[in-house]
Amino acid sequence: MKIIVAVKRVVDYNIKIRVKPDSTGVDLSHVKMSMNPFDEIAVEEAIRQKESGKISEVLLVSIGPEAAQETLRTGLAMGADRALLVTTDQTLEPLAIAKVLKAIVDEEKPDMVFLGKQAIDDDSNQTGQMLAALLGWGQATFASHLNIENGHATVTREVDNGTQTLCLPLPMVMTADLRLNEPRYTSLPNIMKAKKKNIEQKSLADLGIDTEARLTILSVEEPKPRQSGIKVANVVELVSALKQKNCI
């Protein structure tokens, strides 16, 4: 069995983002980039399934600039077998990404595709669901537990009031939530080994997929800052302040 894991290069989650002065976007020059945290969890899950003997191959796919090779190297150092980069300098929307991933799935014929539940830059939470739709496969989103058995995936999902467990025949698409696992750190020997693994490259143009943007970003801005607060000395002061505001 084969798993494809889709990974995205995003701004590191610890970075405080700044909007460009002309409000056309955020300033990403000289900012630390990393693998999207949810994608790391998806990669980890694929590798654990491989280590348990249920999967024979883990293929990483990323769609983005040449620099996304670093992101793929990270996943290879974690233990993925192969990597494919679809190069483009465009910033693609989730619908376009899902179409590109579908083309890769049609070619590679995996049994499952794992993605993160959302990317921490655009916060869309769409690509996995869209890919499942385009493939006509079942979807298990926001996964916190996975068991593969007898050609089926049993997945526990995090939902608004607790958890829900579903069973899906393979092939299927799963998106990883925070509590699915704790991704491993890459060791130096594995990082060195990953440098020798091949990253296949395809150009987006060669795939002949319509990736035209459907949404136009008119502007971006920083949210209104909150007024600076008041330090109270003790509980009595706090209670009287809140009473004055009529909120208790």
Q: Pick out residues in 206-235 that bind other proteins (CB under 8 A).
A: 213-223, 226-232, 234-235
98 makes contact with other proteins (CB under 8 A)? yes
Would you say 192 or 213 has its CB closer to other proteins?
A: 213
With binding defined as CB under 8 A, does residue 33 bind other proteins? no
Query: Which tokens go with 124?
Result: 């869309």
The number of CA neighbours under 13 Å toward the Cβ of 228 is 1
| Distance (Å, whole) CA 101 – CA 4 | 9
244 lies in the site for other proteins, by CB under 8 A? no
CB 84 within 8 A of CB 58: no
Contact 100, 63 (CB under 8 A): yes
In the complex with other proteins, the residue whose CB is nearer, 164 or 203, is: 164
With CB under 8 A as the contact rule, which of the stretches 61-69, 87-95, 190-198, 201-209 interacts with other proteins? 87-95
Cβ atoms of 65 and 88 closer than 8 Å: yes
Q: Cβ-count burial of 137 within 10 angstroms (0-12 exposed, 13-18 middle, 19+ buried)?
A: middle
- Give the nearest distance from C-beta 162 to other proteins in angstroms: 4
Mark residues 161-190: x for contact with other proteins by CB under 8 A, - for none: xxxxxxxxx--x----xxx-----------
Distance in angstroms (rounded) separating the CA atoms of residues 226 and 81? 48
* Binding status of residue 158 toward other proteins by CB under 8 A: yes
Measured from the CB atom, the residue of 67 and 213 that comes closer to other proteins is 213
Number of chain positions touching other proteins (CB under 8 A):
82
- Other CB atoms within a 10 A radius of the CB of residue 237 amount to 12
Nearer to other proteins, 14 or 150 (CB): 14
Asked if 236 touches other proteins (CB under 8 A), the answer is yes
Residue type, 116: G
Does residue 93 touch other proteins according to CB under 8 A?
A: yes
Show contacts with other proteins in window 46-75 (CB under 8 A): none
> What are residue 208's DSSP bridge partners?
none
